[in-house]
Structure 1
Amino acid sequence: MKLSLGFSPCPNDTFIFDALIHHKIDTEGLDFDVHYDDVETLNQKAFHAELDITKLSYHAYAYAADKYVLLDAGSALGFGVGPLLISKDPGLAEQLRVVGDGAVSGGRVTVGIPGKHTTANFLLGLAFPALANKQEMVFSTIEQALLDGHIDLGLIIHENRFTYRQKGLHKVMDLGDYWERTTGSPIPLGGISVRRRLPDDIKHKINRVIRRSVEFAFANPRSGIDFIRLHAQEMSEEVMYKHIDLYVNRFSIALGDEGRAAIHTLFRKAWELKLVPQTPKELFLESTI
């Protein structure tokens, strides 16, 4: 059986899916038509139910829950993994650190975000609700937009956490740390979802195969190095593995009770603030078959 599968070309995703798509593990008869896209493109594809299996932001999942159900394997959750709000202007960075949201006036401060429906943007809204003048852009272009003076603040994710300082940029806030301090939970960034209309046995098979792929990657961390490097493009190997170490962890093998509770906390806060629509459907695939 062939299924369409979407994930990002970032090292955490290629690390997770290498064994699966290259048949280094038992895929239980499943084969995959792979689509590589940035996270916001994947979110948009999920809204239109274009793929059978897709990575997506947990924030975006609120708008696709009628079409998809979340798997237990393949997620990006953790402590110390959140997005960073940064600036080229050290004065503005310090003012926002000290004064917080009250330092934003008149809507003149422009912030570049990696997509409206990213979990990063959701966290920004919690921490800095007055930052309403937002410009959507591909995550990898945000640092340069700051350096060129096109935006005042940038919301960075992925490997940019490791590169902004050497470019002379300044941290305003670690939004993952903000989430952890206010909730005590790991930050849910992105998960893997499957079409609800697929047969239950296929959904569970997909979950098993993805878990097996993650476990293989942990046991053989350099097995997919050429595949990871191919999609990482200009990223150094050191940054690639920092990226993987940050975003791939025990929650990527299985969410467990702690991971599911963190995701429920995210949605409960979003529903209370009316930031996303509520869904009557169960969020997670039921216990494995």
Structure 2
Amino acid sequence: MNIAFSPCPNDTFVFHAWVHNLIKGAPALDVTYADINLTNQWAAEGRGPEVQKISYAALPWVVKDFSLIPCGGALGRGCGPLVLTADQTIDPASLSGKRVAVPSERSTAYLLFRLWAAKHVPGGVGEIIVMPFHKIMPAVRDRKIDAGLVIHEARFTYQNYGLSQLKDLGVWWEEDTKLPIPLGAIIAHRSLDVEEITKWVRHSVEYAWANPKVSREYVMQHAQELSLDVAQSHIDLYVNQYTGDLGTEGFAAVDALLGRAIKEGLVPEFDLKLLRR
């Protein structure tokens, strides 16, 4: 079976057992390690592996062809994207008409940014520039852009670039909705046995939790030069109860995010019930 997910520590931690044939009855995996910007595009274009990790924000473009797997993804509290600048400012109005770099126009981070900016940035931002997330902080530091939207391990390393946090969009979202933040989703093509895939993903998550040190070599092999401490912090933040099962609250968070986005005309309209089948 073909699968695509990022080389980030939370994904390699979650899928280590399945990738290494430790899940009884699960098919062998042919893995493609890809930035989520790529998988969002592949899924929307109907190409790429039949199982992928994409942004929750990209679901409206793919939900007719792909099912949402209710485990294995990244959704939680205290793990939202950050808006960073090279200046010591906390005034959202400073972004009016400015150039902002984002990791993907179909990322959950960007969708949260659009929902937040619509309420807090008078007149809106100026130019949106899409670039790989690992290039965003250097670009902000070097003042090639005015602000950057960052995700994943950048939460732990942005101070190393001399940057300041203008807004934690996760804090804004949680205060506004009282719900966790939907970030990355696991999807499977509807032609597959989705129940079986869900079972295998969940078993891989459970194996990772039961044997947290077994995956360390694999995680660090793909950790993009992160230290072990930062990689572990990444896992601790993004692998949580919702990774094991979205549950009622997790689905409510996804409904809230995509429902608001549909209302604002930011994503294609679709029946939210499709997320549950």
What is the TM-score normalised by the length of structure 2? 0.94
- Name the amino acid aligned to 1:89: D
Quote the Cα distance in structure 2 between the aligned partners of 1:16 and 1:231: 13
Residue pair 2:138, 2:161 contacting (<8 A) in 1 also: no
Find the partner of 1:111 among 83, 92, 100.
100
Deviations 1:190-218 (A, max 9, x none): 110111122xxx21111001000001101
**Residue deviations 1:29-82 (CA, integer Å, cap 9, x gap):** 412211110010110111122221110000011111111110111121111010
What is the 5 A alignment of 1:173-184? 173-184=167-178
Which residue is 2:6 aligned to?
A: 8
User: Is the partner of 2:275 in helix, strand or coil?
Assistant: coil
Moved more, 127-136 or 75-84: 127-136
Q: Please give the residue correspondences for 1:76-225 in structure 2 after superposition, counting only pairs within 5 Å.
A: 76-90=74-88, 93-94=89-90, 96=91, 100=92, 102-105=93-96, 107=97, 109-129=98-118, 130-198=124-192, 202-225=193-216
Q: Give the corresponding residue for 2:221.
A: 230
Q: Deviations over 1:212-255 (max 9, x none)?
A: 00011011111111111111131000000000001000100110
- 1:39 counterpart (12, 29, 36): 36
Q: Any idea what SS the aligned residue of 1:154 has? A: strand
Distance 1:180 1:34 in 2: 34
Structure 1, unmatched stretches of 5+, are: none
Report the identity percentage. Answer: 40
Choose 241-250 or 45-54, whichever is displaced more: 45-54
Aligned to 1:48: 45
Secondary structure in structure 2 of the residue aligned to 1:239: helix
Q: Is the 8 A contact 2:80 2:109 kept in 1?
A: yes
One-letter code aligned to 1:68: F
Deviation at 1:283, TM superposition (A): 3.0
TM-score, length-scaled by structure 1: 0.91
**TM alignment of 1:262-273, pairs within 5 A:** 262-273=253-264
Number of matched pairs? 271
Aligned residue in 2 for 1:242: 233
Distance 2:83 2:95 in 1: 14
CA distance in 1, matches of 2:137, 2:26: 43
Cα gap change, 1:285 to 1:204, in 2 (>3 Å): farther
Distance 1:132 1:65, change over 3 A: farther
- What amino acid maps onto 1:43 in structure 2? N
Q: Give the superposition deviation at 1:103.
A: 3.5
Q: Does the 8 A contact of 2:115 with 2:261 survive in 1?
A: no
